[in-house]
Each structure stands twice: as structure tokens, then as C-alpha cells.
Structure 1
Amino acid sequence: MSVSAEPAVEPAGPVKPRGRVARTAVLVAVFICAACGLVYELALVALGSYLIGDTVGQASIVLSLMVFAMGVGALAAKPLQRWAAPAFAGIELLLALLGGISVLGLYAAFAWLSLYMPALIATALVLGVLIGAEIPLLMVLLQRIRRQDAGSAVADLFAADYVGGLVGGLAFPFLLLPLFGQVQGALLVGVVNAAAGIGLVLTVFRRELSKRATLLLTGATVLVGGVLVGAYAFADDFEVTARQALYADPVVHSERTPYQDVVLTESVSLNGNSDTRLYLNGDLQFSSMDEYRYHEALVHPAMAGPRERVLVLGGGDGLALREVLRYPDVREATLVDLDPAVLELARTDPRVSTLNKDAFADPRVRAIAADAFSWLRDNRERYDVVLVDMPDADSTATAKLYSTEFYGLVRHAMSENARVVVQAGSPFFAPKAFWCIESTMRSAGLNTVPYQIAMPSFGEWGFHLANATPTQPPPT
């Protein structure tokens, strides 16, 4: 009698989903998670730039902390590889929740708790750890579908990851911010992040989940989704309340444009006088109580001489334009401002249009929404007076407007015997910046004369008046 040997029974291992569909699903999840992760990073940088103003510093802090934390997260994911599917789902739900509410939470920390920097550091580290844990777990899941050599698997994974980063990086400034804003944009990305992570695990890898794990993940998904959707529904009210906490006076108008945050406040003093204030990215642009001091000092010294054609760079509120139009011999006044929303506000909001005396309705005025630096490059016209009324050079975006190249373009736009005046900040609070502007103007071939005024809302404020004729003494 022969005894047939029983075939050896291999120990049970994780179920291996087969097919191109499963593999494609994993790579799509990698793509979506990478896009969401980069959006979280950019959202923190953008919020910090808006609230703090130091774009380079905020970007350096956020990106360096998150890259470091991603390395920590990759190491921390090693013990979780045995339970790769449920671990990945849990990490994605937590990342979606924290990433989605990150902007909202940091905004609150800045507005009410004065704990923005500690909160930013903690948020960047936690999000970085969670993002860093994704790739090792996704690598394990990818190999469970079809085992391949490490080089090919890494190539596939990182290709999807990098393309996702590209899409996320482009979607944030050109889609999410304009359409949804910072708070709602982050919440929406959180929903997408959660859907991608939990969708992959509950479809492709559902057999690796116990009933208890499935129930826990389902409940956690409902909870995270409810928090994100609920926060999205109340985001507008939150932003209004948080924004008001940043300003002493009632906010009567606010909007986020592709270029900046525009806020208008209004208060009434005990004697009945109204004080309207315009803020761009949190920086005060004018107070109706004393703006006339600033704009008269900016405009009238430069108007002593030929003034038929006047160019105003910046000054989208129209207040400098108001002073220019007081001169009946001004034949043409061209104003170039970056943000069309500010120009529209100055035209249509009665609080601002009353202050500028409907300057934009004057037939002598030509208003252009454009970057002044780029516009000057293409300009071929010459002007008798150039008024440079730009925001302070406290960010990389505005630094070019105080460069030798910019003043060289201004000089090229000046006619013979023309004058230019530049607002140069406070010689008292920022003397280095004030004299640096003067030195830069001189390096562009302009002959300068500094002067200053006192304003209650700004304190000491300075200007540089200049001409471009080498043989002509500086204007006085």
C-alpha cells in the first residue's frame, strides 16, 4: 500500500489583490496623497505670509520642519508595515483631519491666543510625520499586489508622488485660493485626502481588515468627514469673527484677492467723526483722519514744475490721484496698480470714493491694473511727474519695487526736467530702509532730496524727491 504525501500547507499570509486595477488604484492614491500633502505645506506658508508678512522666513520654517518630520515619520512607520492597510487608513484619516483644520486652528491661535509660532511649529512637525509615514506603507501595499524589484517599485511610487506634488502645487494658488480661500480650501483638501486613503483600503485591501478594524475605520471616517464638512459650513462665519479680532475697528469690507487680503474698517469717534481705514495684508494703508497729510506731502512737492502728464505707480485707493487732479493744467493722469479689486473698491465703495472725490470718474484719468515693474518695461511714454506710492518693502514680492532696476525704469519714463517722488517709510522707526532707498535711487541716476512729515496714524514718515537731469540741482 502506498501512502501519498499530503501537500505542504503554506502559512496564511496577507491576501494579495491582483491585477492592473488594484495597482493603478494604489498609484492614484499616492498621487492624491502627494497633492494633498503639498497643499497643506503651501497653506501653512501662505497663512504665515499673510499674518506675519515674512514670506521667506515662513517658507523656510515650514518646509524645513516638515521635511525633517517626514524623515521621522518614515522611520516611525517601520513597525506598522505588518498592518500596512489599516495603519495607512488610520494615518490618512488623521492627516486629513489635522491638515484640513490646520489653517483654521492657526488662524485662531493668531487671532485669540497669541500662540501662532508655537502652534505653527507643532502643526508642521505633526503633519510632516504623518506625510512621511505614507510612502513606506504604500510601498508595502504596492508590493502585496505584485512583488517586483525595489528599484522599479520605488520608481513607480515616486513618479506618482512627484506628479501629485506638481498638481497640488499648481492647484493651490490658481484654483483653491481664488475659489475657496485659505480656510475652506484646506478643509476641502482634507475631505479629498480622507476619501482617497479610506477608499483605497476599503476597496482594494478590504480583505486584510478584520470586522472590528472595518467598523473602527468606518466610524472614524464618518467622524472625520463630519468634522471637516461641519467646519467647512461654518468657515465663513469663523473667518469674519477671526478677522474682526485682528482689527480694533469694525470691519465693513473684506475680500481675499489673488494678490492680497483687502480689509476696510470704519469707526465713529465720540465727536461724530468717522475714521475709515484700509489694510492690505494687515498693513495700514491710510486713515481718513489724517491721510490728507500723507497724500499732500507725497504729491504737491513733485508738482512744482511742468505737470501736464502725471504717472502714479501704486496708490490704487485714488487718494494721491485726488491731489493730482486739483491742478487744472494736468492733461493726463495714468495710474498703475497691481490689484483690480482695490481699483474697483476705490471706484464703487462710497466710503473710499468719497475720500478720493470720485477721482477715477475724471476723464483725464487712465487706470491700469498691472504690475508696475512689468508695465514700466513695456512703457514707451514719458511723464512730467512720477509718484511712487508703493507698499513698504517688507516682503520679497515688493522688494523689486525698491530696486535699482525699478528706479532705472522710472528714470526712463521721465521726460526732461521731470520729477519723481517715492514714499520711503519711516526715517525714525526704519532709518536703514529709508536711507537705503535714497542710495538705491541715486545708483539709478536720480538726484534726491529727502523730506519727512508727522502723522498721528503712522508717526514720522519720509519721502525722497528727485530729478534725473545730471546738470540740474536736486529739486527743493
Structure 2
Amino acid sequence: MTAPAATRAREVWLLTATFLIAVAGLIYELIAATVSSYLLGDSVRQFSLVIGVFLSSMGLGAYLSRFVGQAMRGFIWAQIALGVVGGFMAPALFFAYGWTGAVAVPLYALLMAVGVLSGMEIPLIARVLKQIGAPEFRFENVLTVDYVGALAASVAFPLLVIPHLGLMSASLVFGCLNLLVAGLSLWLFRDFASRMQWGAWALTLAASLAALAMAERLVSVTEAQLFEDDVILSEATPYQKITVTRFRERTRLFLDHSIQFDTLDEHRYHEALVHPAMALAPRRAQVLILGGGDGMAAREALRWPDVRQITLVDLDPRVTGLFRDHPQLAPLNDFALRDARVRVINEDAWRFVESANQAFDVIVLDLPDPKTIALSKLYSRQFYALLLERLGTGGILVTQAGSPLFAPEAFWSVVQTLESTRNPSAPGDGLRVTPYHAYVPSFGDWGFAMATQGLRMDRPLTLPAGLRFLTQDTWHAAQVFDPETARRDVAVNDIQSHALLGYYLDGWDRWFR
């Protein structure tokens, strides 16, 4: 190969490498942010911290690159190091959390290391391009390729990487990508490479490929530490991590490592959520359930013979698919999602409510806790106002509202937000709201809030047969709050302030951090 042709080949490779390392670098950042939100909660706070730490570490790496004497050797060492640090980041974090229960320190230490190494890449590539005499070298070309790589990674992460690889394998795959960049760079720039680099590259590549081949086993070992019971299903979707565990006849569902139900006591939660509203509603023909992709709330609503249709709206099609079709999961909801009266819609709850043109007699909000802004908005005055436009005359709305013991300010903020929502039938008044709570061993003392536009809710309940928890006596007791859980003076939650998010995080941190 002639000298100009060799130079051109090296230039093309370095620009290609810039694209590849940009993809890998942003994937590592997204993995760190996702792991931190899974294990530490509050995705807004964690994503903000991860982005800030990663970018500042990249700045430090760019500064430190000036002290690298031989740019090409430095670039190759950076790729080998990223193959190890970035590639094994997710396994290391899950193992640390599984065995010690702590993840913040190793997470940010690894993130800073990845950031410093990633920050060194572009300056070193630019120096190499100058050294080889690239005839049309322009620094902005390098940056353009880098930004295009970041865009590709940001699109691929939720659509391809997580659904098809999961966090553990994704980390290792992109570690191997960095090592591929290192290996091709070693070959193309072999006059710059040292034997030590060849040896280090071979060892790290062998270790990474071996770990990748054992990724499923690593996931199983880690989840055995994270969960008390046997993991019978573990999947990552574009929306969340789904884990189902079993011990003897006891099945539990976790979403993003947070428990959603335990078959030992889920009846207490779902009976309390669904049946007071169903019993007090003058009509029950049309029922809307937001969330509740496991089908348990639908199962309870189907106990009422005058229900003609249940519209269940859940964002994740994989959850509703599993609880409709999986031979071990579908029986848990008495095959409710296969019932001809149940219509499942996989859509964002806010978008569905905005576009719906149907009136419902009962609306049940079985939504995840408001631990992020995206979830907090589904507990806002604006969202409740939208829901009331879909609530028929005399209809009842009920929502799970968190724990009045662990996060009392959050619970009462939900109640007060409902009370302050404009009443369409009496514009000068608010809604009539009944707060109540029940003890669910998996969750603790758990609260609910039921609202109408004026219907009296102090009537006795006429309940269907076969309930295991809810009776007239337990309903009366559920409306009594002791001094620890009594009403607080709190702010209303809206989409500008998101006061509920702060109340929720502060309350749970006070007990469990």
C-alpha cells in the first residue's frame, strides 16, 4: 500500500473509531443512569447527577490527555481500559448491590473512570490525525462524527439495546466494541504499538468474551442475591425491568426492582382499591383502569355482574401480554385479561385520557408510585381534571395514594390535590374526597383516595361474594387515621411544582435510607 493510501486508510479508520467510541461512551452513560434509577430511585435526580458527573469527568479527561506523550499508544490504552471499566460496569454494580446493598460509591467511581477515559479519546484522535499528516484533517469533522455516534446510541438504547441485550449483556457487548477498536488500531498502527499492549488487549478481550458468554449465568447469580425467592422470569423492556419470583406457592412481581404484588396479600390491596368505588357507584357498566397491567384490579372489577366493559390502559405491552398468556401468571388474575369484557390498550395514560371520547362510570388508578416527574404528573390536578371530563354523572374515581405512614405528606398531597380539582358539575366547589387506608404486609400501611363530584359516600357497602379482606367493618376502620397518619398541611400537586415528588422521596428516605 502506498504511503498516501495508508494515510487515507488510517484517517478513515480513526473517523470510524470516533463514531464507535461515541456510541459506546453514551451507552455506558445511559447504563449508569438506568442502573442508578433502578437501584437508587428518583430517575430525574439520578439521570441529572450521572450526566453532570460524566460530562465533568470527560472534561478532566480532555485536560489530562495533554500529558500523554504518544497519542496513539495513549488512545489504545484508553480503549483497553474502557473495555474493562465500561464493559464490566453493569455486572460490577449489580454484584455490589446484591452482596453489600450499596451501589452509589462504586457507581460514581466507575462513571468517573469511564468519563475520564472517554474524554481523552477525541483529543488523542485529533493529535494522531495531525501526526499522520491527514491531508484534509479538520477538527470539526471529528466532533461531527462524535455527535452522530451519540445520537445513534441515544436512539438505539431504548429501542434495541435494552430490549434485546439487557443491562448486563449490553455493558459487556460495548466493552467488546471498545476492545475491537483497540485491536484494529493496534493492527493499523502496529508501528506505534508495544508488545505489552498486544498482550493486555488479548487478555482483556478473552476475559470480556468469556463474561459475555456467561452473561445469563451472571444475571442469574446476581438476581439470586437481589431477590429472596427463585427468579422464574426476568426481562427488560423499553419501559422497565420485569422480574417475577416464586417460593413454593408464593409469586411476586417486581418492576424496576420495586415490588408490585405478593400473592400472599395482594387481595388486600386490590379489594381495597376496587370494591368501595364499585359498591358506591350508581352504575358500573363502563370501568376504566389506568395501570394494573397484572390484571388483578380487572379481576376484582369482573366480580360485579353488571360490568359490561373494562378498559385497561397500561403502557407496557409485555406486562399485559405476560399476565394474559403466561401459564403461571395468567391464573393469578383468574384469566381476567382473556375475558371478552376486558379491552387492553397499551398506551400512555395521559395520552389515552386526552383522546378518549367515552364516559366511564368508575375510574380506577392503579398506577406506580409518584417517584419520578413522569409519574408525578399522573397524580396532578391537571390530570385529575382531564379524568373528570371522562367520568360520567354520578361516577366515582379512586386512586392508590401511597403510604400515609411512610410518606404521609405525599398521601395527603394526593388527597388535597383531588379536593382542589375543579368540579365540573359545581364549578365553584371541589370534589368530595374520601381518604382511606389498609394494611398490606408487603407494602405496610397503604392509602387510597376516592372522589366524586357530589355523590354521598357514607352509605353502607353491598359487596360481592368471595372477598377475603374487605367487609363493612374493615371499610369503616379504613377511614380512621391515627395521629401518625392524620391529615397534614401540604401543597397541591401540579405539573409546574411537582410538590408530590419531593414529599414522596423525602418520606421514603426518612424510613429507608
From 266, 271, 280, give the equivalent of 1:291: 266
Deviation of 1:79 after TM superposition, in Å, equals 2.3
**1:368 lines up with 2:345 in the alignment:** yes
Pairing of 1:82-97 with structure 2 (within 5 A): 82-97=69-84
Q: Distance in 2 between matches of 1:135 and 1:439?
A: 53
Contact 1:276 1:351 in 2 (8 A): no
Alpha-carbon shift at residue 475 of structure 1 (Å): 6.4
The superposition leaves residues 282-302 of structure 1 with CA deviations (integer Å, 9 ceiling, x where unpaired) of 111112122212111111111
Counterpart of 2:192 in structure 1 is 208
Q: Distance in 2 between matches of 1:262 and 1:226?
A: 31
Q: What does the per-residue CA deviation read over 1:87-108, in whole Å, with 9 as the maximum and x for residues that have no partner?
A: 2111111111211111111111
Displacement after TM superposition at 1:369 (Å): 1.7
Runs of 4+ in 1 over 4 A off after TM superposition: 15-19, 472-476
Q: Which amino acid aligns with 1:320?
A: A
Contact 2:11–2:134 (CA<8 Å) still a contact in 1? no
> Under a length normalisation based on structure 1, what TM-score does the superposition of the two structures give?
0.89
The partner residue of 2:118 within 131, 135, 150 is 131
Q: How many residues align?
A: 447
Distance 1:131 1:16, change over 3 A: farther
Aligned to 1:21: 9
Task: Measure, in 2, the Cα distance between the counterparts of 1:44 and 1:171.
Answer: 16
> C-alpha root-mean-square deviation of aligned residues, in Å?
2.0
1:286 counterpart letter in structure 2: F
| Contact 1:17 1:145 (8 Å CA) reproduced | no
Q: Is the 8 A contact 2:7 2:134 kept in 1?
A: no
Q: Does 1:413 align with 2:387?
A: no
The residue type paired with residue 434 of structure 2 is V
What is the rounded CA distance, in whole Å, between the counterparts of 1:290 and 1:59 in structure 2? 34
CA contact (8 A) 1:142 1:153 kept: no
Q: For residue 354 of structure 1, report the CA deviation from its aligned partner.
A: 2.6
Shift of 1:157: 1.8
- Partner residue of 2:62? 74
Report if the CA contact (8 A) 1:16-1:144 is conserved: no
428, 433, 437: which is aligned to 2:414? Answer: 437
CA contact (8 A) 2:8 2:134 kept: no
Residue 416 of structure 1: CA displacement? 0.7
Asked if the contact 1:422–1:465 (Cα under 8 Å) also holds between the matched residues in 2, the reply is yes
Work out the CA distance in 2 between the residues paired with 1:176 and 1:228: 18
**Identical positions, percent:** 38
Structure 1 residue aligned with 2:300: 323
| 1:456 CA displacement | 2.1
Look up the equivalent residue of 1:275 and give its one-letter code: R
TM-score (norm 2): 0.83
> CA 1:44–1:249 in 2, change beyond 3 Å: closer, same or farther?
same
Q: Superposition pairs for residues 57-456 of structure 1, below 5 Å?
A: 57-80=45-68, 82-146=69-133, 153-203=138-188, 205-209=189-193, 213=194, 215-268=195-248, 274-303=249-278, 304=280, 305-445=282-422, 446-456=431-441
Residue 290 of structure 2: SS of its match in structure 1?
Answer: strand
8 Å CA contact retained: 1:452, 1:460 = yes
Contact 1:465 1:475 in 2 (8 A): no
Distance 1:193 1:443 in 2: 55
Aligned to 1:7: none
Structure 1 residues 457 and 306, CA gap change in structure 2 (3 angstroms): same
SS in 2 for 1:338: coil
Segment drifting more, 313-322 vs 415-424: 313-322
How many angstroms apart in 2 are the aligned matches of 1:373 and 1:322? 23
The answer to whether the Cα contact below 8 Å between 1:423 and 1:464 also exists between their aligned partners in 2 is yes
Instruction: Please give the alpha-carbon distance, in whole angstroms, between the structure 2 residues aligned to 1:52 and 1:129.
Output: 23
Counterpart CA distance in 2 for 1:16 and 1:85 is 19
Secondary structure at the aligned position of 1:178 is classed as helix
TM-superposition CA deviations, 1:329-367 (whole Å, max 9, x none): 111111111112211222233443333212123221112
What does residue 22 of structure 2 align with? 34
Q: Hey, what's the Cα distance between the residues in 2 that align with 1:263 and 1:208? A: 48
1:48 has 2:36 as partner: yes
Letter aligned with residue 237 of structure 2: T
Cα distance between partner residues in 2 of 1:333 and 1:365 = 5
Q: Deviations over 1:20-42 (max 9, x none)?
A: 43322221111111111111111
Contact 1:267 1:275 in 2 (8 A): yes
Q: Render the CA deviation track for 1:358-405: whole Å, top value 9, x for unaligned.
A: 212322111222221111111000011111111111123322221222
Letter in 2 for 1:440: T
Structure 2 unaligned regions, length at least 5: 423-430, 460-513
CA distance in 1, matches of 2:297, 2:134: 69
Q: Distance in 2 between matches of 1:383 and 1:198?
A: 62
Deviations 1:163-183 (A, max 9, x none): 111112222222111111111
Partner residue in 2 for 1:271: none
2: CA distance, partners of 1:474 / 1:392: 25
> What is the CA-CA distance between 1:18 and the residue it aligns to?
6.0
1:324 Cα offset (Å):
0.9
3-state SS of the aligned residue for 1:50? Answer: helix
Cross-structure match for 1:3: none
For the 8 Å contact 2:37–2:46, the answer to whether it is kept is yes
